[in-house]
Amino acid sequence: MSDAVAMAVERAGVAPPGKALLSIRDLCVSFRDDSGWTQVLNNVSLAVNPGETVGIVGESGCGKSLTALSILGLLQKRDVLRTGEINFEGRDLAKLSEAEMRRVRGRHIGMIFQEPMSALDPVFTVGDQITETVRTHFNVSRREANERAVAALAAVRIASPQNVVSMYPMSLSGGMRQRVMIAMALVCEPRLLIADEPTTALDVTIQAQIMDLLLDLGQRTGTAILFITHNLGLVAESCTRMLTMYAGQVVEDGPVDKILMQPKHPYTAGLLGSVPQPRQRKSLLPSIPGRVPSPHEMPSGCRFAPRCTYVQPPCLAPQALLSADAERQVRCRRYDELTLPGAIS
């Protein structure tokens, strides 16, 4: 790993002004349906440093994947309203045309989608799909593109990559398809990799291999990773910073170790408390009461208030994202009054 990349990794934390690889400010996304416009993302702000691994956690429906799709401009243009800034390497992606975004996707920002069987085209071979990505962004021959595809598959530790390039996705196991998705995302050596549930539905052995692979490639190439997951254990092991999202908002942002030891937001504490503990046998699994509100039924004040055991009258007003200290932000007025349990005592 080069000195520059090593320094970037060591700087992991809140990005200094003007130094972030990716900086999102006040991102809002609304969809239009028969009842009118409905906001699903509300003032989402986050930053990712070069070489950093940032985890985004939260229940399904909290806006994690929607944030990723917004970064890459993959939301349909019709009946969707997106506002805010998405600055990547000094350019606001929200202002780029579709043609300009095509030059960014794959080349500078790669993405691993949740379901590789859905993301991979079943009528094209693995090699065809990877070489298409290469030839879209580089002026190379078909032969050289194929050689890069084989090298990419070898880099993700697929056995006999020369044979796999001629195979169709349906012929591969779930773990191999996931590795093909990673190879396709990294073949152009992007500066940022968005990994949306890259280990979903994989057994723990394959999960560990996939995460080791991502972190190893990130360290060797200096690629920053935005890791979206429900698995708090993977976040604790692999990420330097952690963001908690709830009901379309970022409710907590800070270094992983500090959040695990002392969460500032009741929702983060609830997620940590819901992780099964192997030593607690024959006991009820803790859970957060209620469910994530529908975008059509969003509370007017704190969006977590209906499910929060610490709710007080001040919580019934809208909550701003406050600076708890130099490294942490939290969307809770009572954060300095509460002592919340963490996952690490």
Q: Which residues of 159-178 are buried (b: 16+ CB within 10 A; e: fewer)?
A: eebeebbeeebeebeebbbb
CA dihedral over 243, 342, 51, 18, signed as positive or negative: positive
CA quadruple 249, 254, 258, 262: dihedral sign: negative
Please count the CA atoms within 13 angstroms of the CA of 171 that sit on its side-chain side. Answer: 10
pTM for the whole structure: 0.88
Q: Provide the pLDDT for residue 13.
A: 37
- Say if residue 301's pLDDT is above 60: yes
Question: In this structure, what token pair is assigned to residue 278?
Answer: 């192997």
Beginning with the edge strand found earlier in the chain, give each strand of the sheet holding 22-33 in spatial order.
Answer: 36-48, 22-33, 80-88, 91-92
Q: Mean pLDDT, to the nearest integer, of 18-31?
A: 91
Q: Report, as an integer, the average pLDDT of 85-102.
A: 94
Judge whether 196 and 164 are in contact, CB under 8 Å. Answer: no
Sheet (strand 249-255) strand order = 109-112, 192-196, 224-228, 53-57, 241-246, 249-255, 329-330, 322-323
Residue 1 pLDDT > 50: no
pLDDT at site 12: 34
Q: Find how far residue 134's CA is from the centre of its chain.
A: 24
Percent of the chain residues past pLDDT 90, beyond the cut: 68
Tell me the pLDDT tens digit for each residue of 28-63.
999 998 889 999 999 999 999 999 999 999 999 999
Mean pLDDT of the region 323-337: 93
pLDDT at 277: 72
Per 3-state DSSP, the chain is made up of helix, strand and coil in percentages (nearest 5) of 35, 20, 45
Grade residue 233 by pLDDT with cuts at 50, 70 and 90. confident
Average pLDDT of span 259-283:
85
Q: Please say if the pLDDT value at position 16 is more than 50.
A: no
Indicate the residue type of 301. Answer: G
What is the distance between the alpha carbons of residues 148 and 124, in angstroms, rounded to a whole number? 17
Please compute the mean of the pLDDT values over residues 202-231 and round it to a whole number. Answer: 84
Q: What is the pLDDT of residue 219?
A: 81
Predicted confidence (pLDDT) at residue 100 exceeds the cutoff of 90: yes
In angstroms, rounded to a whole number, what is the distance separating the alpha carbons of residues 54 and 225?
6
pLDDT for 281 beyond 90: no
User: Over the stretch 160-211, which tens digit does the pLDDT of each residue have?
Assistant: 999 999 999 999 988 889 889 989 998 998 999 999 988 776 778 777 877 8
Question: Which pLDDT score is estimated for 271?
Answer: 94
DSSP code per residue over 42-71: EEEEEEE-TT-EEEEE--TTSSHHHHHHHH
- Closest to 9 in 3D by CA, of 281, 331, 225: 225
pLDDT at 91 over 80: yes
Q: Where is pLDDT greater, at 208 or 24?
A: 24
Q: State the average pLDDT for the chain.
A: 88
pLDDT at 122 over 90: yes
